[in-house]
Amino acid sequence: MTSLHSLTLLLLGVVFVTTPVVANFNIPIYEPPPIEIPPIYEPPPTEIPPPLYKPPFIPPPLFHPPYENPPPVFQPPYEKPPPKYQPPHEKPPPVYEPPHNKPPHEKPPPLYKPPHDKRPHEKPPPEYQPPHEKPPPVYQPPHQKPPPEYQPPHEKPPPLYQPPHQKPPPEYQPPHEKPPPVYQPPHKKPPPFCQPPLVEPPPVYHPPHVKPPPVYQPPHVKPPPVYQPPHEKTPPVYEPPLVKPPPVYQPPLVKPPPVYQPPLVKPPPVYQPPLVKPPPVYQPPHEKTPPVYQPPYKKPPPVYQPPHVKPPPVYEPPLVKPPPVYQPPIVKPPPVYQPPYEKPPPVFQPPYEKPPPLFLPPYEKPPPVFELPYPPGCSPPPYGHFPPSKKN
Protein backbone atom coordinates (compact mmCIF):
# COMPACT_ATOMS: atom_id res chain seq x y z
CA MET A 1 0.00 0.00 0.00
CA THR A 2 2.87 2.37 0.85
CA SER A 3 4.60 1.61 -2.42
CA LEU A 4 1.35 2.41 -4.26
CA HIS A 5 1.09 5.83 -2.61
CA SER A 6 4.70 6.72 -3.39
CA LEU A 7 4.30 5.63 -7.01
CA THR A 8 1.17 7.79 -7.39
CA LEU A 9 2.94 10.86 -5.96
CA LEU A 10 5.90 10.31 -8.32
CA LEU A 11 3.61 10.19 -11.34
CA LEU A 12 1.78 13.37 -10.26
CA GLY A 13 5.11 15.21 -9.87
CA VAL A 14 6.22 14.19 -13.35
CA VAL A 15 2.87 15.40 -14.82
CA PHE A 16 3.13 18.79 -13.04
CA VAL A 17 6.67 19.33 -14.24
CA THR A 18 6.00 18.39 -17.85
CA THR A 19 2.81 20.51 -18.28
CA PRO A 20 3.26 23.96 -20.07
CA VAL A 21 1.24 25.86 -17.43
CA VAL A 22 3.48 24.73 -14.67
CA ALA A 23 6.53 25.43 -16.86
CA ASN A 24 5.58 29.14 -17.09
CA PHE A 25 6.32 29.68 -13.43
CA ASN A 26 10.02 29.45 -14.29
CA ILE A 27 10.42 33.29 -15.33
CA PRO A 28 13.67 33.96 -17.20
CA ILE A 29 15.87 36.92 -16.08
CA TYR A 30 16.41 39.77 -18.71
CA GLU A 31 19.97 40.34 -19.60
CA PRO A 32 20.66 43.57 -21.60
CA PRO A 33 22.94 43.37 -24.61
CA PRO A 34 26.57 44.21 -24.05
CA ILE A 35 27.35 48.00 -24.26
CA GLU A 36 29.66 48.88 -27.10
CA ILE A 37 32.07 51.73 -26.28
CA PRO A 38 32.20 54.15 -29.26
CA PRO A 39 35.63 55.07 -30.54
CA ILE A 40 36.98 58.44 -29.38
CA TYR A 41 37.50 60.94 -32.26
CA GLU A 42 41.00 62.21 -32.44
CA PRO A 43 41.44 65.20 -34.76
CA PRO A 44 44.44 65.20 -37.00
CA PRO A 45 47.47 66.84 -35.40
CA THR A 46 47.93 70.56 -36.21
CA GLU A 47 50.96 72.77 -35.85
CA ILE A 48 49.13 75.52 -33.81
CA PRO A 49 46.75 74.26 -31.15
CA PRO A 50 43.40 76.00 -31.11
CA PRO A 51 43.04 78.75 -28.50
CA LEU A 52 41.30 77.81 -25.32
CA TYR A 53 37.95 79.46 -24.64
CA LYS A 54 38.06 81.93 -21.80
CA PRO A 55 34.74 83.36 -20.71
CA PRO A 56 34.64 87.20 -20.57
CA PHE A 57 35.19 88.78 -17.22
CA ILE A 58 31.96 90.27 -15.83
CA PRO A 59 32.58 92.40 -12.74
CA PRO A 60 30.06 92.10 -9.94
CA PRO A 61 27.49 94.90 -9.80
CA LEU A 62 28.36 97.87 -7.60
CA PHE A 63 26.10 98.78 -4.73
CA HIS A 64 24.22 102.05 -5.23
CA PRO A 65 22.69 103.38 -2.03
CA PRO A 66 19.17 104.74 -2.33
CA TYR A 67 18.87 108.42 -3.24
CA GLU A 68 17.50 110.66 -0.51
CA ASN A 69 16.04 114.05 -1.34
CA PRO A 70 18.05 116.90 0.29
CA PRO A 71 16.21 119.08 2.83
CA PRO A 72 14.49 122.18 1.36
CA VAL A 73 16.39 125.49 1.32
CA PHE A 74 14.77 128.35 3.19
CA GLN A 75 13.40 131.11 0.94
CA PRO A 76 12.86 134.48 2.72
CA PRO A 77 9.45 136.09 2.17
CA TYR A 78 9.13 138.50 -0.74
CA GLU A 79 8.82 142.16 0.27
CA LYS A 80 7.09 144.43 -2.21
CA PRO A 81 9.08 147.67 -2.83
CA PRO A 82 7.38 151.02 -2.11
CA PRO A 83 5.71 152.71 -5.11
CA LYS A 84 7.60 155.35 -7.06
CA TYR A 85 6.61 158.99 -6.71
CA GLN A 86 5.07 160.37 -9.91
CA PRO A 87 4.95 164.22 -9.93
CA PRO A 88 1.83 165.80 -11.49
CA HIS A 89 2.03 166.59 -15.21
CA GLU A 90 2.58 170.33 -15.81
CA LYS A 91 1.37 171.68 -19.15
CA PRO A 92 3.60 174.54 -20.41
CA PRO A 93 1.90 177.90 -21.11
CA PRO A 94 1.18 178.59 -24.80
CA VAL A 95 3.67 180.75 -26.68
CA TYR A 96 2.36 183.99 -28.09
CA GLU A 97 2.46 184.21 -31.89
CA PRO A 98 2.36 187.80 -33.29
CA PRO A 99 -0.06 188.40 -36.19
CA HIS A 100 1.31 187.62 -39.61
CA ASN A 101 1.47 190.86 -41.71
CA LYS A 102 2.40 189.30 -45.01
CA PRO A 103 0.96 191.37 -47.94
CA PRO A 104 -1.45 189.51 -50.23
CA HIS A 105 -0.01 187.95 -53.32
CA GLU A 106 -0.72 190.08 -56.43
CA LYS A 107 -0.53 188.27 -59.73
CA PRO A 108 0.67 190.45 -62.69
CA PRO A 109 -1.88 190.97 -65.46
CA PRO A 110 -1.56 188.59 -68.41
CA LEU A 111 0.37 189.77 -71.44
CA TYR A 112 -1.51 190.75 -74.59
CA LYS A 113 -1.34 188.19 -77.39
CA PRO A 114 -2.34 189.50 -80.85
CA PRO A 115 -4.64 187.32 -82.96
CA HIS A 116 -2.95 184.45 -84.67
CA ASP A 117 -2.68 184.89 -88.47
CA LYS A 118 -1.50 181.40 -89.22
CA ARG A 119 -2.80 179.84 -92.41
CA PRO A 120 -4.92 176.75 -91.89
CA HIS A 121 -3.02 174.48 -94.28
CA GLU A 122 0.45 175.46 -93.03
CA LYS A 123 1.60 173.34 -90.14
CA PRO A 124 3.99 175.11 -87.76
CA PRO A 125 7.49 173.62 -87.62
CA PRO A 126 7.92 171.19 -84.76
CA GLU A 127 9.78 172.39 -81.77
CA TYR A 128 13.25 171.03 -81.25
CA GLN A 129 13.38 168.44 -78.55
CA PRO A 130 16.93 167.70 -77.44
CA PRO A 131 17.70 163.98 -77.31
CA HIS A 132 17.25 162.35 -73.98
CA GLU A 133 20.61 161.57 -72.49
CA LYS A 134 20.53 158.72 -70.09
CA PRO A 135 22.88 159.27 -67.16
CA PRO A 136 25.78 156.83 -67.11
CA PRO A 137 25.15 153.85 -64.85
CA VAL A 138 26.71 153.90 -61.44
CA TYR A 139 29.58 151.46 -61.19
CA GLN A 140 28.79 148.59 -58.93
CA PRO A 141 31.93 146.78 -57.79
CA PRO A 142 31.71 143.02 -58.22
CA HIS A 143 30.49 141.16 -55.23
CA GLN A 144 33.31 139.31 -53.54
CA LYS A 145 32.24 136.41 -51.46
CA PRO A 146 34.22 136.23 -48.21
CA PRO A 147 36.37 133.13 -47.90
CA PRO A 148 34.71 130.38 -45.89
CA GLU A 149 35.72 130.14 -42.30
CA TYR A 150 37.72 127.15 -41.28
CA GLN A 151 35.72 124.72 -39.24
CA PRO A 152 38.00 122.48 -37.18
CA PRO A 153 36.98 118.85 -37.14
CA HIS A 154 34.68 117.93 -34.33
CA GLU A 155 36.43 115.81 -31.76
CA LYS A 156 34.17 113.97 -29.42
CA PRO A 157 35.52 114.11 -25.87
CA PRO A 158 36.09 110.78 -24.21
CA PRO A 159 33.26 109.74 -21.91
CA LEU A 160 33.77 110.71 -18.29
CA TYR A 161 33.51 108.16 -15.61
CA GLN A 162 30.48 108.78 -13.41
CA PRO A 163 31.12 107.55 -9.89
CA PRO A 164 28.25 106.16 -7.92
CA HIS A 165 26.15 108.79 -6.22
CA GLN A 166 26.85 109.13 -2.54
CA LYS A 167 24.42 111.01 -0.42
CA PRO A 168 26.13 113.92 1.41
CA PRO A 169 25.58 114.15 5.12
CA PRO A 170 22.70 116.47 6.09
CA GLU A 171 23.80 120.03 6.81
CA TYR A 172 22.92 121.73 10.03
CA GLN A 173 20.15 124.31 9.62
CA PRO A 174 20.16 126.91 12.41
CA PRO A 175 16.76 128.00 13.69
CA HIS A 176 15.17 130.78 11.65
CA GLU A 177 15.30 134.22 13.28
CA LYS A 178 12.97 136.84 11.92
CA PRO A 179 14.81 140.16 11.20
CA PRO A 180 13.55 143.29 13.01
CA PRO A 181 11.11 145.43 10.99
CA VAL A 182 12.59 148.28 8.95
CA TYR A 183 11.49 151.77 9.97
CA GLN A 184 9.16 153.40 7.46
CA PRO A 185 9.04 157.24 7.74
CA PRO A 186 5.58 158.82 7.53
CA HIS A 187 4.38 159.72 4.06
CA LYS A 188 4.44 163.47 3.30
CA LYS A 189 2.17 164.73 0.55
CA PRO A 190 3.91 167.21 -1.83
CA PRO A 191 2.50 170.78 -1.93
CA PRO A 192 -0.05 171.39 -4.72
CA PHE A 193 1.28 172.96 -7.90
CA CYS A 194 -0.26 176.29 -8.97
CA GLN A 195 -1.46 176.47 -12.56
CA PRO A 196 -1.08 180.00 -14.07
CA PRO A 197 -4.19 181.40 -15.82
CA LEU A 198 -4.46 180.64 -19.53
CA VAL A 199 -3.87 183.74 -21.72
CA GLU A 200 -5.54 183.52 -25.13
CA PRO A 201 -3.50 185.07 -28.00
CA PRO A 202 -5.12 187.97 -29.91
CA PRO A 203 -6.75 187.03 -33.23
CA VAL A 204 -4.70 187.39 -36.43
CA TYR A 205 -5.93 190.05 -38.88
CA HIS A 206 -6.78 188.78 -42.40
CA PRO A 207 -7.14 191.60 -45.02
CA PRO A 208 -10.18 191.37 -47.35
CA HIS A 209 -9.68 189.72 -50.73
CA VAL A 210 -9.36 192.27 -53.61
CA LYS A 211 -10.37 190.98 -57.05
CA PRO A 212 -8.02 192.16 -59.88
CA PRO A 213 -9.58 194.25 -62.72
CA PRO A 214 -10.34 192.35 -65.96
CA VAL A 215 -7.76 192.50 -68.76
CA TYR A 216 -8.82 194.10 -72.09
CA GLN A 217 -9.12 191.69 -75.04
CA PRO A 218 -9.16 193.31 -78.54
CA PRO A 219 -11.76 192.04 -81.06
CA HIS A 220 -10.78 189.16 -83.31
CA VAL A 221 -9.91 190.12 -86.94
CA LYS A 222 -10.78 187.44 -89.52
CA PRO A 223 -7.99 186.83 -92.12
CA PRO A 224 -8.93 187.01 -95.87
CA PRO A 225 -9.42 183.67 -97.69
CA VAL A 226 -6.45 182.22 -99.61
CA TYR A 227 -6.90 181.74 -103.39
CA GLN A 228 -6.60 178.15 -104.64
CA PRO A 229 -5.85 177.85 -108.44
CA PRO A 230 -7.89 175.28 -110.41
CA HIS A 231 -6.44 171.79 -110.69
CA GLU A 232 -5.12 170.88 -114.20
CA LYS A 233 -4.87 167.24 -115.20
CA THR A 234 -1.66 166.21 -117.07
CA PRO A 235 -2.14 164.63 -120.54
CA PRO A 236 -1.46 160.83 -120.76
CA VAL A 237 1.93 159.62 -122.01
CA TYR A 238 2.00 157.58 -125.26
CA GLU A 239 3.08 153.94 -124.83
CA PRO A 240 4.27 152.22 -128.10
CA PRO A 241 3.09 148.62 -128.71
CA LEU A 242 5.28 145.75 -127.49
CA VAL A 243 7.31 144.09 -130.33
CA LYS A 244 8.32 140.44 -129.64
CA PRO A 245 11.95 139.68 -130.68
CA PRO A 246 12.55 136.75 -133.11
CA PRO A 247 13.50 133.40 -131.48
CA VAL A 248 17.22 132.59 -131.10
CA TYR A 249 18.55 129.52 -133.03
CA GLN A 250 19.52 126.60 -130.81
CA PRO A 251 21.92 124.07 -132.49
CA PRO A 252 21.16 120.37 -131.96
CA LEU A 253 22.75 118.70 -128.94
CA VAL A 254 25.74 116.44 -129.83
CA LYS A 255 26.46 113.66 -127.30
CA PRO A 256 30.23 113.22 -126.65
CA PRO A 257 31.77 109.75 -127.34
CA PRO A 258 32.11 107.45 -124.29
CA VAL A 259 35.46 107.49 -122.48
CA TYR A 260 37.41 104.18 -122.45
CA GLN A 261 37.58 102.54 -119.03
CA PRO A 262 40.42 99.93 -118.70
CA PRO A 263 39.46 96.60 -117.08
CA LEU A 264 39.92 96.40 -113.30
CA VAL A 265 42.97 94.28 -112.29
CA LYS A 266 42.66 92.73 -108.80
CA PRO A 267 45.97 92.76 -106.85
CA PRO A 268 47.37 89.35 -105.76
CA PRO A 269 46.53 88.31 -102.18
CA VAL A 270 49.15 89.05 -99.49
CA TYR A 271 50.59 85.99 -97.70
CA GLN A 272 49.50 85.70 -94.06
CA PRO A 273 51.67 83.34 -91.94
CA PRO A 274 49.77 80.91 -89.71
CA LEU A 275 49.02 82.11 -86.18
CA VAL A 276 51.25 80.46 -83.55
CA LYS A 277 49.65 80.35 -80.06
CA PRO A 278 52.17 81.09 -77.25
CA PRO A 279 52.65 78.32 -74.66
CA PRO A 280 50.62 78.76 -71.44
CA VAL A 281 52.35 80.42 -68.49
CA TYR A 282 52.75 78.22 -65.42
CA GLN A 283 50.74 79.42 -62.41
CA PRO A 284 52.00 78.01 -59.08
CA PRO A 285 49.31 76.72 -56.76
CA HIS A 286 47.89 79.24 -54.28
CA GLU A 287 49.09 78.69 -50.73
CA LYS A 288 46.83 80.06 -47.99
CA THR A 289 48.69 81.86 -45.19
CA PRO A 290 48.16 80.38 -41.71
CA PRO A 291 45.91 82.43 -39.40
CA VAL A 292 47.61 84.69 -36.87
CA TYR A 293 46.84 83.99 -33.22
CA GLN A 294 44.88 86.78 -31.53
CA PRO A 295 45.02 86.74 -27.73
CA PRO A 296 41.69 87.29 -25.96
CA TYR A 297 40.73 90.88 -25.10
CA LYS A 298 41.22 91.85 -21.48
CA LYS A 299 39.15 94.77 -20.22
CA PRO A 300 41.28 97.23 -18.18
CA PRO A 301 40.21 97.71 -14.57
CA PRO A 302 38.10 100.83 -13.89
CA VAL A 303 39.86 103.94 -12.62
CA TYR A 304 38.90 104.93 -9.10
CA GLN A 305 37.03 108.21 -8.88
CA PRO A 306 36.74 109.77 -5.41
CA PRO A 307 33.21 110.49 -4.24
CA HIS A 308 31.77 113.91 -5.11
CA VAL A 309 31.73 116.33 -2.19
CA LYS A 310 29.19 119.12 -2.54
CA PRO A 311 30.60 122.56 -1.54
CA PRO A 312 28.75 124.45 1.20
CA PRO A 313 26.19 127.03 -0.01
CA VAL A 314 27.38 130.63 -0.38
CA TYR A 315 25.47 133.23 1.59
CA GLU A 316 23.74 135.79 -0.61
CA PRO A 317 22.63 139.03 1.08
CA PRO A 318 19.08 140.24 0.39
CA LEU A 319 18.57 142.37 -2.69
CA VAL A 320 18.36 146.12 -1.96
CA LYS A 321 16.46 147.97 -4.66
CA PRO A 322 17.91 151.43 -5.54
CA PRO A 323 15.67 154.48 -4.95
CA PRO A 324 13.58 155.60 -7.93
CA VAL A 325 15.10 158.17 -10.30
CA TYR A 326 13.11 161.36 -10.76
CA GLN A 327 11.82 161.84 -14.28
CA PRO A 328 11.10 165.51 -15.19
CA PRO A 329 7.79 166.20 -16.95
CA ILE A 330 7.76 166.09 -20.74
CA VAL A 331 7.63 169.59 -22.26
CA LYS A 332 5.75 169.58 -25.55
CA PRO A 333 7.14 172.06 -28.16
CA PRO A 334 4.79 174.93 -29.14
CA PRO A 335 2.83 174.41 -32.37
CA VAL A 336 4.23 175.95 -35.57
CA TYR A 337 2.02 178.60 -37.14
CA GLN A 338 0.66 177.62 -40.55
CA PRO A 339 -0.56 180.66 -42.63
CA PRO A 340 -3.94 180.23 -44.32
CA TYR A 341 -3.92 178.83 -47.83
CA GLU A 342 -4.57 181.47 -50.51
CA LYS A 343 -5.94 180.14 -53.77
CA PRO A 344 -4.21 181.74 -56.82
CA PRO A 345 -6.47 183.79 -59.15
CA PRO A 346 -7.76 181.89 -62.19
CA VAL A 347 -5.95 182.32 -65.52
CA PHE A 348 -8.08 184.05 -68.14
CA GLN A 349 -8.81 181.88 -71.17
CA PRO A 350 -10.04 183.83 -74.29
CA PRO A 351 -13.20 182.45 -75.89
CA TYR A 352 -12.73 179.98 -78.72
CA GLU A 353 -13.46 181.44 -82.16
CA LYS A 354 -14.15 179.06 -85.04
CA PRO A 355 -11.89 179.74 -88.10
CA PRO A 356 -13.67 180.76 -91.34
CA PRO A 357 -14.25 178.04 -93.96
CA LEU A 358 -11.74 177.79 -96.80
CA PHE A 359 -12.86 179.20 -100.19
CA LEU A 360 -12.79 176.56 -102.93
CA PRO A 361 -13.24 177.91 -106.52
CA PRO A 362 -15.72 176.09 -108.79
CA TYR A 363 -14.42 172.98 -110.52
CA GLU A 364 -13.63 173.49 -114.22
CA LYS A 365 -13.63 170.37 -116.38
CA PRO A 366 -10.47 170.18 -118.59
CA PRO A 367 -10.95 169.99 -122.41
CA PRO A 368 -11.02 166.42 -123.80
CA VAL A 369 -7.75 165.06 -125.28
CA PHE A 370 -8.00 163.57 -128.80
CA GLU A 371 -6.70 159.97 -128.94
CA LEU A 372 -5.92 158.19 -132.25
CA PRO A 373 -7.85 154.95 -132.85
CA TYR A 374 -4.57 153.02 -133.40
CA PRO A 375 -0.86 153.91 -133.30
CA PRO A 376 0.59 155.76 -136.28
CA GLY A 377 2.26 153.57 -138.96
CA CYS A 378 0.02 150.53 -138.19
CA SER A 379 -2.91 149.21 -140.30
CA PRO A 380 -6.30 149.09 -138.61
CA PRO A 381 -7.30 145.72 -137.08
CA PRO A 382 -9.33 143.38 -139.34
CA TYR A 383 -12.10 142.61 -136.89
CA GLY A 384 -12.13 145.79 -134.88
CA HIS A 385 -9.49 144.57 -132.35
CA PHE A 386 -5.97 143.16 -132.33
CA PRO A 387 -5.48 139.35 -131.97
CA PRO A 388 -4.56 138.16 -128.48
CA SER A 389 -0.94 137.54 -127.62
CA LYS A 390 0.39 134.00 -127.95
CA LYS A 391 2.24 134.32 -124.67
CA ASN A 392 -0.96 134.08 -122.75
- In tens, the pLDDT along 31-65 reads 888 888 888 878 776 677 777 888 888 888 888 88
Residue 181: count of CB within 10 angstroms of its CB: 6
Q: Is 155 exposed, middle or buried (0-12, 13-18, 19+ CB in 10 A)?
A: exposed
Find how far residue 147's CA is from the centre of its chain: 23
**Amino acid letter for position 265:** V
The rounded distance, in Å, linking the Cα atoms of 164 and 304 is: 11
DSSP H helices in 19-107: 20-23
The rounded distance, in Å, linking the Cα atoms of 82 and 183 is: 13
Q: Which residues of the chain have pLDDT under 50?
A: 22-23, 392
pLDDT at position 120 is 53
Taking a C-beta distance cutoff of 8 angstroms, is the pair 329, 87 a contact? Answer: yes
**Number of residues assigned to the chain:** 392
DSSP H helices in 19-130: 20-23
∠ CA(360), CA(364), CA(368), 5° rounding?
155
Taking a C-beta distance cutoff of 8 angstroms, is the pair 334, 95 a contact? Answer: yes
The rounded distance, in Å, linking the Cα atoms of 88 and 95 is: 21
CA of 231: how far to CAs of 61, 98, 361, 366, in Å? 131, 80, 10, 9
The rounded distance, in Å, linking the Cα atoms of 154 and 131 is: 65
Of 217, 201, 17, 15, nearest in space to 115 by CA: 217
CA of 199: how far to CAs of 92, 97, 202, 336, in Å? 12, 12, 9, 18
pLDDT at position 318 is 85
CA of 229: how far to CAs of 132, 305, 355, in Å? 44, 129, 21
pTM recorded for the entire structure? 0.12
Taking a C-beta distance cutoff of 8 angstroms, is the pair 68, 167 a contact? Answer: yes
The rounded distance, in Å, linking the Cα atoms of 52 and 49 is: 9
The rounded distance, in Å, linking the Cα atoms of 75 and 69 is: 17
What φ, ψ does residue 5 adopt, rounded to 5°?
Answer: -60, -45
Collapse the DSSP code of 66 into the 3-class scheme (helix H, G, I; strand E, B; otherwise coil) and give the result.
coil
∠ CA(102), CA(105), CA(106), 5° rounding?
135
∠ CA(32), CA(36), CA(40), 5° rounding?
155
- Residues contacting residue 62 through CB under 8 Å, at least 6 positions apart: 164
Taking a C-beta distance cutoff of 8 angstroms, is the pair 85, 328 a contact? Answer: no
pLDDT at position 210 is 81
Ramachandran area for residue 3 (φ above 0: left; ψ -120 to 50: alpha; else beta): alpha
